Amino acid sequence: MINNIKSIFKNLSGVIIGAVFLFLTLHEKPLGPVWESLAGADYFFIFLSFLCLFLVFYLRALRWKLLIEEAGETPKSDKVFTSLLLGYFVNSFTPKLGEIIRCTSLQKNSKVPVAVSMGSVMAERAYDLLILGLGILCIFFIELERLQGIIDSTIGGISHIYGYRYIYVLPIFLILFVILFLVSLKRLKKSEKPIIKKVVGFLQSMFESLKQGLLLKKRFKFILLTLLIWMTLVILNYIYLLCLPETSEYSIFFAVVILFIGGLGWALPSPGGIGTTHFFLLQLFLAYQLDANAGISFGILSNGLTFIGTLVLGGYGYFRYWVEMKRA
């Protein structure tokens, strides 16, 4: 019951965050030019973006499989791909619940323990957050004067939801939570209750999988796959730019900036990055003194195509998963 309430609260808070940022993005903006811009989108590049998105998911599946293998499991590539598509499909509607879905579905179709796959997902996220953080730092270092306003706008946007004081309290709260969690886990290890032993065993397996994922043996293959994923994401954002007449002449460097600054929006707990990515992309266009309507159009187009593509591929993943379960 408590877990259900927490899940509902988490999903609801994600929707509220997305709605607030979407309101801040579209408030008092004329939407007529935006719809005209979207109507003139190039269908060839829209189709190309779907192929590119498929490649991103496939590369992510290969990398996830590699991390699972580091923990001693050997699932088939097609089953890992199916579970990953299911996870991203669910993430389109709920903030990060898809990570649980892809791990539980992989347990059903490949007998990979949830604790192991969850640890590998945590390792995957840790590496991606590292690259995202390094990319953001590099871009802000290069373009500090232009992008300083985004920091102020972001803090202002979040303060509409939580208030300024909570922004500064959050890091302290997270540190205290980690300390209390580690102390509690140490005490729980001494318990003789069966249910406590199960929980502790699950957590130990998960953290062992996380450790194996962070202490990579196949480093070269993992680094290669990671570089390919992020390069493909740059190309995907460049294709999105090519879709619209107003943004088709922007450089591929701007696509790199979009990837990392827009990534801030995807990192926030909003379903499918709706609202948060639109907000960051608009601030980015304004920082570069580009047309605000073009920024809104690009945000709607890029987020919309990613959302639709994820739904289509997720539906395909669900069909494959259903067929696999029928055959089992």
- Residues 116-136: pLDDT tens digits? 888 888 888 888 888 888 888
Please enumerate in sequence order all residues whose Cβ is within 8 A of that of 192, keeping only pairs 6 or more positions apart, or say none: none
Whether 68 has a pLDDT exceeding 70, the answer reads: yes
pLDDT at 43 over 90: yes
Confidence of residue 190 (pLDDT cuts 50, 70, 90): low
Per-residue confidence at 76, pLDDT binned at 50, 70, 90? Answer: very high
Q: What's the CA gap between 312 and 318, in Å, rounded?
A: 10
Q: How confident is the model at residue 82 (pLDDT cuts 50, 70, 90)?
A: very high
Q: Quote the CA–CA distance of 122 and 136 in Å, as a whole number.
A: 21
- Please list, in sequence order, all residues whose beta carbon lies within 8 angstroms of the beta carbon of residue 126, skipping any fewer than 6 positions away: 210, 213, 214
The 10s digit of each residue's pLDDT in 219-275 is: 788 889 999 999 999 999 999 999 999 899 899 999 998 898 877 776 666 666 676
Average pLDDT over residues 300-325: 89
Q: Please name the amino acid found at residue 282.
A: L
Q: Are 85 and 316 in contact (CB under 8 A)?
A: yes
